Structure 1
Amino acid sequence: MTPSFKYLAGYPSALLAQVQGLIEAGRLEAYLAERYPQGHEVRSDKALFDYTQALKQRHLRNAEPLARVSYDAKLKVVQHALGTHTRATTVHGSRLKTRREIRVATLFKEAPADFLRMIVVHELAHLRELDHNKAFYQLCHHMEPAYAQLEFDLRLWLTLRELPGAPSS
C-alpha cells in the first residue's frame, strides 16, 4: 500500500522515493526517534504561553504583546492548520486596541520538543510578516536556523502518524 504524501506535496520525487524506502523498510519511526529523541514538558496553556513569551523576548522584543497563547484541540491537521495567529481589533473610546493570539494544535503536546519550537517560531514570525513570503521565511530562519529541516521532518512525523499501525505519538 502506498502511503499518502499529502504533507510532502511539492517536494522532489527523488526525496519522496527516499521517504517511501524508509516506510517500506519500517525505518521511518526509528529515523525520527533517533533525530528527535527529546520530548518536552510544555503541556499546559500557561506553560505554552511562558515558552512562547521567552522565544518572543529573545527574538522579537519590539513586537506587539500577545494576549493569549494556547493549545487548541479544534485545529485540524487536515485543514492545514497546525497553529494559528489571529489579530482582533476593538475600539476603546477613540483608540483602537489589537489583541493578538496564537493557538497551537493539541497534537504538539506529544510532539518532539524541536517540532513545538518550529511551530511556535512559525506563528511568532506572523507578528512581523503576515504572509508566507521571503521575508517571513528569513525571519523563521533567523529565529530557528534549522527551520527548513524541522519543517520537513515535521511533515515526515505527520506522515508517520497516518500510516496503518502508526504510533499515537
Structure 2
Amino acid sequence: MTSPLKYLGAYPEDTRHQVQALLAQDRLGDILKKRYPNAHGVRNDRALYDYVQDLRDEFLRNAAPIDKVTFDSKIHVINHALGLHTSISRVQGSKLKTKHEIRVATMFRDCPIEFLRMIAVHELAHVKEKQHDKAFYKLCTYMEPQYHQYEFDVRLYLTQLEHSGTKLW
C-alpha cells in the first residue's frame, strides 16, 4: 500500500510516482541533501527580520513597511502553512494605521537558504497581492526566478520529513 503524497497532490501523476519510487528506495533525502547541502545562517528573529527587510528593500521599495518578522512555533505545516502574513489595522486619531507582520514556521530555522527565501518571497508578495492568483505568482517569480522549483523542493522535503521522521539539516 502506498501512502498518499499530501504535499504533492496537485502535481501530475507521473511526478508523484517518481517521488513514491524515490521514497521506496530511500533516496529522496539524499537527492535533496545533494541539491541543498547546507542550512542557512538565519538563526534568530532579528536576523530573519533583516533578511526579509533586505528582500523588501530590493524588490518592493514602494510597498508598506514590514513591522515584525519572526519564527513562529505555533505555525504547523499540517495546516498547509509554511509562513503567515498578517495585516493589523488600527485607528489612531483620524488615521487608519496598518501593521504588516510575517511569521515563518520554526521548522524552517534549519533548512537551506533557498527554502527560507521562497517562504519570505511568498509572504512578502502578500503585502501587494492578497490572493494566490496570476499576479501574485508573477510577483513571486520576479523576486525569485527559481520560486516554483524551490516551492516544489520544499514540498519534497516535507514529504521526506513525513515519510522518514528525520530532518535533513
Query: Do both proteins adopt the same fold according to a TM-score greater than 0.5, normalized to the shorter chain?
Result: yes
TM-score by length of 1: 0.96
Q: What is the count of residue pairs matched by the alignment?
A: 169
Indicate if the aligned counterparts of 2:38 and 2:111 stay in contact, CA closer than 8 A. Answer: no
Q: What is the SS of the residue equivalent to 1:108? A: helix
1:49 partner amino acid = Y
- Aligned equivalents of 2:149, 2:44: Cα separation in 1: 27
For structure 2, list consecutive stretches of 5 or more residues without a partner in the other structure.
none
- Aligned equivalents of 1:166, 1:4: Cα separation in 2: 19
Question: Which residue number in structure 2 is paired with residue 100 of structure 1?
Answer: 100
For structure 1, list consecutive stretches of 5 or more residues without a partner in the other structure.
none
Q: How does 1:61-76 map to 2 (within 5 A)?
A: 61-76=61-76
- Aligned equivalents of 2:164, 2:108: Cα separation in 1: 20
- Aligned equivalents of 1:164, 1:143: Cα separation in 2: 32
Question: Which residue number in structure 2 is paired with residue 86 of structure 1?
Answer: 86
- Aligned equivalents of 2:52, 2:37: Cα separation in 1: 21
- Aligned equivalents of 1:168, 1:33: Cα separation in 2: 7
Question: Which residue number in structure 1 is paired with residue 129 of structure 2?
Answer: 129
Indicate if the aligned counterparts of 1:4 and 1:159 stay in contact, CA closer than 8 A. Answer: no
1:142 pairs with 2:142: yes
Change (3 A) 1:167 1:69: closer
Question: Which residue number in structure 2 is paired with residue 39 of structure 1?
Answer: 39
* Runs of 4+ residues over 3 Å off in structure 1: 164-169
1:77 partner amino acid = V
Q: What is the SS of the residue equivalent to 2:128? A: coil
1:112 CA displacement: 1.2
Q: Percent identity?
A: 53
- Aligned equivalents of 1:78, 1:142: Cα separation in 2: 28
TM-score by length of 2: 0.96
